[in-house]
């Protein structure tokens, strides 16, 4: 519309420069900008410009968690890079998927999809749970002094080695990434080789979660962040296959609150 008006006002001229003075200021800048870009691209070396290597798109697959979630929490649970999740999911603002859009399929780096599918049950339940907290009502006949003594006895340190990430260290010690960050006052998941981390092995996950039922069987209540491998590490001499056999499990999928026979 603006171009047709400019043609009429110019007396019928039909070249860009012929109607230039009759075009709105913004419209008249389009062609010169395009010509400038073409000139630069055709004469890069003469003006000391050097094209960068292209950035290749991360391969991804889609998956639905069917719940509100935070990309930060998803990255923490799966040891994914938050920046990659943000790049793959530009529609998610402020790194949070609201309840109103919970059915939206998320794009996940293809290299991590197998792990997420295998652990989908507990991941889905853990995504919008707060970090595990100890409440007085959940500690049976246990004084503050006894709890402090247990923590001290189970406390250890770990020196970060090359290739370590918080996720792998947490799995190795049967704790969660959130717990390690809390014990060491870490504000992010970044750690460095040679850094010493404090680990309170198994305290939060084991208190009030192992009981004996009326049949004399020892049961364990699955905690947020647990996997069969983590549970086997919490109970010495127990393997993943034994847990599956005792509970007639056909897969490794478990969820918080589920009771498992462990002896």
Q: What single string gives the DSSP state of each residue in 160-197?
A: --TT--HHHHHHHHT--HHHHHHHTT-SSS---TT-EE
pLDDT tens readout for residues 122-157: 777 777 553 333 333 333 333 444 445 544 555 678
C-alpha to C-alpha distance for 236 and 131, rounded to whole angstroms: 25
The percentage of residues in the chain with a pLDDT greater than 90, rounded to a whole number, is: 12
pLDDT tens readout for residues 35-47: 999 999 899 888 8
C-alpha to C-alpha distance for 161 and 191, rounded to whole angstroms: 10
pLDDT tens readout for residues 243-254: 888 888 887 778
C-alpha to C-alpha distance for 255 and 123, rounded to whole angstroms: 8
Res 155: pLDDT = 63
Res 210: pLDDT = 67
Spell out the residues 6+ positions from residue 96 whose beta carbon is closer than 8 angstroms to its own: 68, 69, 70, 71
Given the candidates 3.10.350.10, 3.40.640.10, 3.10.20.30, 3.40.50.10800, the CATH classification of the domain at 209-261 is 3.10.350.10
C-alpha to C-alpha distance for 262 and 245, rounded to whole angstroms: 10
Average pLDDT over residues 54-77: 82
Q: Would you place residue 209 in the very low, low, confident or very high pLDDT band (cuts 50, 70, 90)? A: low
pLDDT tops 90 at residue 186: no
Spell out the residues 6+ positions from residue 253 whose beta carbon is closer than 8 angstroms to its own: 118, 119, 120, 121, 122
> CB–CB of 217/261 below 8 Å?
yes
User: Quick one: tokens of 139?
Assistant: 């500690």
Spell out the residues 6+ positions from residue 131 whose beta carbon is closer than 8 angstroms to its own: 176, 178, 179, 182
pLDDT tops 70 at residue 100: yes
Report which of residues 262 and 154 the model is more confident about. 262
C-alpha to C-alpha distance for 256 and 77, rounded to whole angstroms: 14
Name which of 85-99, 184-198, 227-241 the model is least confident about: 227-241
Chain-wide mean pLDDT for the chain? Answer: 77
CATH 3.10.350.10 domain extents, the chain = 136-205, 209-261
pLDDT tens readout for residues 50-59: 777 665 667 8
The alpha helices in the chain, defined as continuous H runs, are 2-9, 16-19, 25-28, 30-42, 71-78, 82-88, 110-118, 120-126, 144-154, 166-173, 177-183, 203-206, 228-234, 240-246
Res 26: pLDDT = 86
Average pLDDT over residues 148-174: 70
* 136-205 is a CATH 3.10.350.10 domain: yes
């Amino acid at each position: 519309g603006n171009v047709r008006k400019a043609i009429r006002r110019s007396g019928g001229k039909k070249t860009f420069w012929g109607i230039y003075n009759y075009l709105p200021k913004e419209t008249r800048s389009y062609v010169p900008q395009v010509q400038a870009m073409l000139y630069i691209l055709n004469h890069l070396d003469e003006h000391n410009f050097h094209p960068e290597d292209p950035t290749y798109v991360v391969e991804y697959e889609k998956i639905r968690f069917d719940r509100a979630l935070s990309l930060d929490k998803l990255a923490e649970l799966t040891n994914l890079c938050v920046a990659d999740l943000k790049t793959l999911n530009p529609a998610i603002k402020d790194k949070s998927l609201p309840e109103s859009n919970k059915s939206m399929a998320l794009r996940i780096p293809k290299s991590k999809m197998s792990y997420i599918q295998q652990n989908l049950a507990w991941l889905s339940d853990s995504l919008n749970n707060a970090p595990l907290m100890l409440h007085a009502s959940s500690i049976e006949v246990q004084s503050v002094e006894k709890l402090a003594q247990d923590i001290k006895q189970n406390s250890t340190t770990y020196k970060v080695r090359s290739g370590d990430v918080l996720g792998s260290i947490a799995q190795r010690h049967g704790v969660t990434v959130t717990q390690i960050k809390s014990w060491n006052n870490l504000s992010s998941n970044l750690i460095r080789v040679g850094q010493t981390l404090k680990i309170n092995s198994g305290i939060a996950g084991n208190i009030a979660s192992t009981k004996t039922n009326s049949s004399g069987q020892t049961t364990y209540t699955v905690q947020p962040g647990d996997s069969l491998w983590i549970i086997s590490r919490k109970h010495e001499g127990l393997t993943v296959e034994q847990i599956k056999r005792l509970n007639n499990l056909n897969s490794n999928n478990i969820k918080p609150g589920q009771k498992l026979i462990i002896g």
